[in-house]
Chain A
């Protein structure tokens, strides 16, 4: 508000009411194009890189589209059918990648929902150093997947890595093949992801926890509720919208995992940890099957939509 007063004061020469009304009318007239002019630069970007790809993706998915071939014939739903018929060339690899993605999502999401909640509860009180610890726990998240991928590939190296070295120091087996064998490869990918992104969800939880009125806790305490009961009956219900947000976004993030397995396990063992996103870009951009890859993208987006809606239903239900 102070700024407005300054604007007025700075002008100093307020026009007489009549001129003022005229000006407003003219502002109204030129104003008709103004909202669109404000929108225009973003809408150009949004149209070309936000909407066009959706249309183009649908169009690609019904063509046999090879970057290197001049002929890109219309093939109807063949690209889709191939994903579901076991005698096609992509069937095995495609479902393998779906399986890998499902395994990673199922293993990582519970930890990525619970561990950050623990961190947030720990930090949700006033104590000296609170901001410092919050920053430390969040820090890995600001690093890119390229950095954390190279770093953990090294830390998890069976011979030269720090993880096996530390395990050896405390007397545990120090020759675990973390990135090359099962089940270690999944444990590594999930563990690294928890280390990398827990701080992010924790910060979201913290904001949610601080919106819960302290009086509710006070009332529960007066009613003789113990710590667990207060968590169960005050914290969790208060966090429900935040929890729904965290679960939905975390499921999507885990299902879109790419960099960790690309860099840390490099798909090993075999192609067991190759995820859907990886397989799609491999098929579309390395093997030039853009049509098939576009069909996979759409099937994948639909799968994610179904999972998200299911999530929503599940948690909305609990509210009643």
Chain B
């Protein structure tokens, strides 16, 4: 990913280069304008946002939208933000611990039933998760997890993706690792913890970031298993916000900005990990 190969028209002449960069900039406008408009609108007053046609810039720049979402007992947006942060962090940790252990066992240890277990896990990658929503609802209902933190933290960690992803990485590590460590008297737990995990930091970071993003953005599941205003995460919360503010767009956009900021910041910081994770998931095909 990091070493670009000039394959098509690498040595562009002057006019071609202008067209090339113009295309890039036009695309940038298409991808970014909606996000910029979200921020602009979040800084307008209610009346300014109701103007037809809408004004280009917020005049005056107003904190109205943000004040509304910060002092709002019916829509406790900050509470949702906190819930989302805690849920996504715990989910990500749970995936890291369980998937790395399982992947280590499947990639580096030999035992009866390994092939069957792996086939079963990978097999579920082909079942659309949406088709399991109804029975999963029944299960979390039986566990009395509805409307609790656990319901948005735990079930998603059963996904086969993490195990599959880390197993591929562990398989790529040289066999001499275990041999040398075993000669030194290390047991499997020590090899896992002191040798394999430290060598797998990039893969673990990628999985952590992708799990965090997935959980932070999840919408379909939480809107059906979380109810109380205090228990919601941001995505179902934003739906509630839209329900109460309808066309009061500065408020709704302020909520959207708040929900976007952490993942956009995470994207900027961990861009390499996210993009590598995505491109590697394609190469297995």
Residues of B contacting A242 in the complex (Cβ-Cβ under 8 angstroms): 282-283, 285
Q: A15 on the interface (CB 8 Å rule)?
A: yes
* Chain B interface size range: 35 or more
Q: Is A269 an interface residue (CB 8 A)?
A: no
B68 is an interface residue with CB less than 8 A from chain A:
no
- Decide: A200 near B127, CB < 8 A? Known: A124-B7, A259-B219: no
Chain B hits for A41, CB < 8 A: 97-98, 101-102
Chain B: minimal CB distance from A34 (Å): 5
Which A residues touch B189, using CB under 8 A?
34
The reply to whether B260 and A281 contact each other, CB–CB distance below 8 Å, is no
Q: Which residue of A lies closest to B255 (CB)?
A: A150
Q: A23-B185, A56-B138, A165-B53 given; name 18 further pairs at CB < 8 Å.
A: A1-B177, A14-B184, A38-B109, A38-B192, A39-B117, A42-B163, A56-B139, A125-B8, A126-B6, A130-B4, A137-B31, A140-B31, A140-B35, A146-B235, A147-B260, A195-B30, A207-B279, A209-B7
The answer to whether A7 touches B27 (Cβ under 8 A) is: no
Which residues of chain A from 171 to 211 have any CB-CB distance to chain B below 8 Å in the complex? 174, 195, 199-200, 203-211
A99 smallest CB distance to B (angstroms) = 18
Task: Indicate with 1 or 0, residue by residue over B200-225, a CB within 8 angstroms of chain A CB atoms.
Answer: 00000000000001001111100010
Say yes or no for B5: interface residue by CB 8 A criterion. Answer: yes
CA distance A256 to B159 in the complex (A): 17
Which residues of chain B are near A277, meaning CB under 8 Å? 130, 220
**Contact B282 A208, beta carbon cutoff 8 Å:** yes
**Can you list 21 contacts pairing A with B, beta carbon distance less than 8 Å?**
A39-B102, A39-B117, A41-B97, A49-B154, A50-B160, A57-B135, A122-B23, A122-B27, A124-B7, A133-B28, A135-B268, A140-B34, A145-B235, A146-B217, A150-B253, A160-B50, A206-B1, A259-B220, A280-B134, A281-B220, A284-B137
A189 CB to closest chain B CB, in angstroms?
A: 15
A224 within 8 A of B: no
Given A160-B50, A214-B7, A230-B8, is A4 in contact with B195 using a C-beta cutoff of 8 Å?
A: yes
Taken together as a complex, chains A and B put the C-alpha atoms of A210 and B1 apart, in Å, by 7
Contact between A146 and B282, CB atoms less than 8 A apart: no
Query: Is A3 close to B, CB under 8 A?
Result: yes
Residues of A close to B144: CB separation below 8 A: none
- The answer to whether B181 has its CB under 8 Å from any CB of chain A is yes
In B238-285, the 8 Å CB interface with A consists of 238-239, 242, 247, 249, 252-253, 255-256, 259-260, 263-264, 266-268, 271, 274-275, 278-285
